[in-house]
C-alpha cells in the first residue's frame, strides 16, 4: 500500500514561482538561523526529536469523514509553541528537505513553497499573532486548547491560500481559482481542527511532565525521551494505519480540475525530477520494488516501518546539522568588526 504524497509537487509550480519561493524560504531560514539564541541552541536535542516527531506524525494520514479525503498534521504550530518561531522554521525546513530528498514527498522545485506554506505561516504569523495572545502565560488548559485550535486553523488557512495563489501564478489553468480556493479552505479547516486538538494535547502533556517550564522553553530530558518514543512508535507502527484516501491538496485539485490536467513542465522540472530520482532511496515511503497494495489496512508492513524509522533518524541528523550550522553562522557574524 503506497503512501499518498502530502506536499506540493513540482507539477503545480512553475520555475519562476518555485525559484521565487526558494529564495524566500532561504531568506527566512537565514534570518531564523541568525536569530537563534544561546538558550535555543542548548535545545538542539529537543529540536532534533521534535523534527523526528513531526516527520512521523506527517506519515499518519487520517480520514476526514464525508469527504473521501484525508489529512495529516502540519506540525509548524507545535514546533513554534515548544521551540519558538526561529527554531521552529529551521526544524520544519529540515524535515521537508528530508521528505523531498529521500522519500520524493513534495517536489524539489516546490521545496521553497512547502517551507513557506507549512513553516513560515505557522511560525511567524499564527504563533505570535494568534496563539500567544489567546494562550496568555500558557497555564490555563482551556486557553491553551482554544489558542491551539484557533492558531492551527489560521496557519493552515493561510497555507492553503498560498498553495492556490502559487498554483495560479504558475499558470495551472486546469485549476480555476475560485473553486480550488473554496475546496482548499474547507478541507483544511477540518484538518486544522484536528491539528489544533493534537497540538493542545501535546503541549499540555509536556507541561504536565515539566510544569515549571513555559511553552517555547521546554528542554527536559523526560520530554525528549517521551517525544522520541512517540516518534518511533508513530513511524514504525502507527504508519500502518494511515488512510489511503487522497490528501487534502490532491482531493481539492482533483475536484476543482476543469478539463484535462495541465501540469507545469519544462527543463527545470526534468532536472528536478532527475535529481529526486537519484536521491530518493524510498520513494512514496516504500523500498524500491515493494508491491503497491496487497496488504490490508493496519497490517504490519516492514517496508513502511523501515521508511519511517529511516526518516526519523535522518530528520534528527538534518535538524542537528542545521542547528550547528546556525551556531557557526552566528559566531562568524559576531567575529566580524
What are the mean pLDDT values of the chain's consecutive 10-residue runs (337 residues total)? Answer: 63 93 95 74 83 94 89 93 93 96 93 96 97 91 96 96 94 85 95 95 80 49 79 88 87 78 74 91 80 55 87 94 80 68
Kind of pairing, strands 62-64 and 69-71?
antiparallel
Helix count (H) and strand count (E) of the chain?
A: 13, 2
Asked if 326 and 34 count as a contact pair (C-beta separation under 8 A), the reply is: yes
Show Cβ contacts of residue 124 under 8 Å, excluding neighbours closer than 6 positions: 28, 85, 89
What CATH topology corresponds to 10-335? Arp2/3 complex 21 kDa subunit ARPC3 (1.10.1760)
Query: What is the predicted pLDDT for the residue at 293?
Result: 47
Q: How far apart are CA 334 and CA 328, in angstroms?
A: 10
Q: Say how far residue 231 (Cα) sits from the centre of its chain.
A: 14
SS3 content of the chain, % helix, strand, coil (to 5): 70, 0, 30
- Within 13 Å, how many C-alpha atoms sit on residue 175's CB side? 29
Asked if 79 and 315 count as a contact pair (C-beta separation under 8 A), the reply is: no
Q: What is the pTM of this model?
A: 0.90
Query: What is the predicted pLDDT for the residue at 228?
Result: 87
Q: What DSSP string runs through 138-153?
A: S--HHHHHHHHHHHHH
Query: What is the predicted pLDDT for the residue at 267?
Result: 83
Q: Say how far residue 213 (Cα) sits from the centre of its chain.
A: 25
Asked if 303 and 287 count as a contact pair (C-beta separation under 8 A), the reply is: yes
**DSSP designation for 213:** P
The domain spans of the chain are 10-335
Query: What is the predicted pLDDT for the residue at 3?
Result: 45
Q: Where are the extended beta strands (E) located within the chain?
A: 62-64, 69-71
Phi first, then psi: give them for residue 247, nearest 5 degrees. -75, 175
Amino acid at each position: 500500500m503506497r503512501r499518498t504524497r502530502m506536499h506540493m509537487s513540482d507539477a503545480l509550480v512553475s520555475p519562476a514561482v518555485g525559484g521565487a519561493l526558494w529564495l524566500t524560504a532561504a531568506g527566512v531560514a537565514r534570518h531564523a538561523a541568525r536569530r537563534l539564541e544561546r538558550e535555543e541552541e542548548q535545545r538542539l536535542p529537543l529540536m532534533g526529536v521534535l523534527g523526528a516527531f513531526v516527520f512521523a506524525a506527517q506519515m499518519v494520514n487520517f480520514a476526514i469523514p464525508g469527504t473521501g479525503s484525508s489529512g495529516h498534521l502540519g506540525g509548524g504550530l507545535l514546533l513554534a509553541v515548544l521551540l519558538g518561531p526561529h527554531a521552529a522554521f529551521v526544524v520544519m525546513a529540515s524535515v521537508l528537505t528530508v521528505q523531498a530528498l529521500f522519500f520524493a514527498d513534495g517536489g524539489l522545485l516546490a521545496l521553497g513553497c512547502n517551507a513557506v506554506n507549512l513553516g513560515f505561516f505557522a511560525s511567524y504569523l499564527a504563533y505570535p499573532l494568534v496563539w500567544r495572545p489567546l494562550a496568555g502565560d500558557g497555564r490555563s488548559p482551556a486557553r491553551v486548547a482554544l489558542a491551539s485550535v484557533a492558531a492551527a486553523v489560521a496557519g493552515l488557512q493561510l497555507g492553503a491560500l498560498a498553495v492556490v495563489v502559487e498554483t495560479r501564478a504558475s499558470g495551472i489553468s486546469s485549476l480555476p481559482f475560485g473553486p480550488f480556493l473554496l475546496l482548499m479552505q474547507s478541507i483544511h479547516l477540518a484538518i486544522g481542527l484536528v491539528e489544533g486538538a493534537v497540538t493542545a494535547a501535546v503541549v499540555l502533556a509536556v507541561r504536565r511532565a515539566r510544569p515549571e517550564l513555559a511553552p517555547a522553553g521546554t528542554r527536559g530530558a523526560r520530554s525528549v525521551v517521551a517525544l522520541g518514543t512517540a516518534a518511533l512508535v508513530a513511524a514504525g507502527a502507527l504508519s500502518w494505519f494511515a488512510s489511503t484516501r487522497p490528501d487534502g491538496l490532491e482531493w481539492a485539485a482533483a475536484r476543482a480540475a476543469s478539463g484535462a490536467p495541465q501540469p507545469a513542465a519544462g527543463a527545470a522540472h526534468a532536472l528536478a525530477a532527475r535529481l529526486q530520482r537519484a536521491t530518493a532511496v524510498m520513494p512514496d515511503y516504500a523500498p524500491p520494488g515493494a508491491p503497491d497494495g496487497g496488504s490490508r489496512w493496519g497490517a504490519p508492513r516492514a517496508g513502511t516501518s523501515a521508511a519511517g524509522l529511516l526518516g526519523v533518524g535522518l530528520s534528527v541528523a538534518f535538524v542537528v546539522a542545521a542547528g550547528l550550522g546556525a551556531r557557526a553562522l552566528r559566531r562568524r557574524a559576531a567575529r566580524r568588526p
